[in-house]
């Protein structure tokens, strides 16, 4: 089991490094969202995806390690997390400490990344609200005063010239 624990620790340390790489990418994403730089956002998303692809490989490796540990401990029917594995390592204090340390570092790094992702989510939602406001403003500005007509049943009728044209020309 020592080799499985060693592989798990190494995998988690590699994951931590990749999560640390995502932090400046997420910070850069905030900047390009604020600047409304779509080309910059595409580049940031591309570099983020490269790191996420590498993380996926490590995550699969980590899951295989945890599965192997569950098998060795004969705990196949139980949910297993790092805290439980740390608890099972009482007779291996060196590995227990290393695993505990990398677990705490991972929690710290992923916590920071979660904060940045929530911030970016809020920025994107604000941008979408601003776009929606602008679209509504442009649409309402197109309706000139005096073009609103009502028929004898008090139903609203748009001026034909306004109702036939849209905000965007679909024929282009």
Structural domain count of the chain: 1
- Look at residue 141 and tell me if it is in a domain: no
- Look at residue 165 and tell me if it is in a domain: no
Comparing 42 with 136, the larger pLDDT belongs to 42
- Look at residue 152 and tell me if it is in a domain: no
pLDDT of residue 68 exceeding 70, the answer is yes
Nearest to 102 by CA among 4, 168, 1, 6: 6
- Look at residue 138 and tell me if it is in a domain: no
Question: Mean pLDDT, to the nearest integer, of 78-99?
Answer: 92
C-alpha–C-alpha distance, residues 88 and 81, integer Å: 11
Tokens of 160: 């034909």
- Look at residue 44 and tell me if it is in a domain: yes
pLDDT of residue 23 exceeding 80, the answer is yes
CB 66 within 8 A of CB 85: yes
Q: What is the band of 172 on the pLDDT scale with cuts at 50, 70, 90?
A: very low
Predicted local confidence at residue 140, as pLDDT: 81
Question: Mean pLDDT, to the nearest integer, of 57-82?
Answer: 93
pLDDT of residue 64 exceeding 90, the answer is yes
The CATH number of the domain holding residue 46 is 1.20.58
- Look at residue 33 and tell me if it is in a domain: yes
pLDDT of residue 93 exceeding 70, the answer is yes
pLDDT in tens, 113-154: 999 999 999 999 998 898 888 888 888 877 655 555 556 665
Boundaries of domain holding 89: 2-123
- Look at residue 166 and tell me if it is in a domain: no
- Look at residue 32 and tell me if it is in a domain: yes
CB 18 within 8 A of CB 51: yes
Predicted local confidence at residue 137, as pLDDT: 83
Question: Mean pLDDT, to the nearest integer, of 16-23?
Answer: 97
């Amino acid at each position: 089991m020592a080799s499985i624990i060693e592989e798990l620790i190494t995998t988690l340390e590699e994951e931590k490094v990749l999560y640390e790489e995502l932090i400046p990418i997420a910070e850069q994403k905030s900047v390009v969202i604020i600047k409304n730089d779509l080309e910059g956002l595409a580049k940031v998303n591309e570099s983020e995806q490269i790191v996420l692809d590498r993380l996926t490989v490590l995550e699969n490796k980590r899951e295989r390690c945890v599965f192997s540990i569950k098998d060795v401990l004969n705990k196949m029917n139980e949910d297993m997390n790092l805290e439980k594995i740390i608890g099972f390592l009482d007779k291996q204090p060196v590995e227990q400490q290393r695993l505990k340390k990398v677990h705490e570092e991972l929690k710290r790094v992923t916590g920071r990344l979660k904060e940045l992702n929530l911030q970016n989510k809020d920025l994107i939602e604000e941008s979408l609200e601003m776009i929606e406001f602008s679209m509504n403003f442009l649409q309402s500005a197109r309706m000139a005063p005096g073009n609103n007509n009502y028929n004898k049943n008090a139903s609203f009728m748009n001026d034909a010239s306004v109702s036939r044209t849209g905000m965007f020309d679909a024929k282009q």
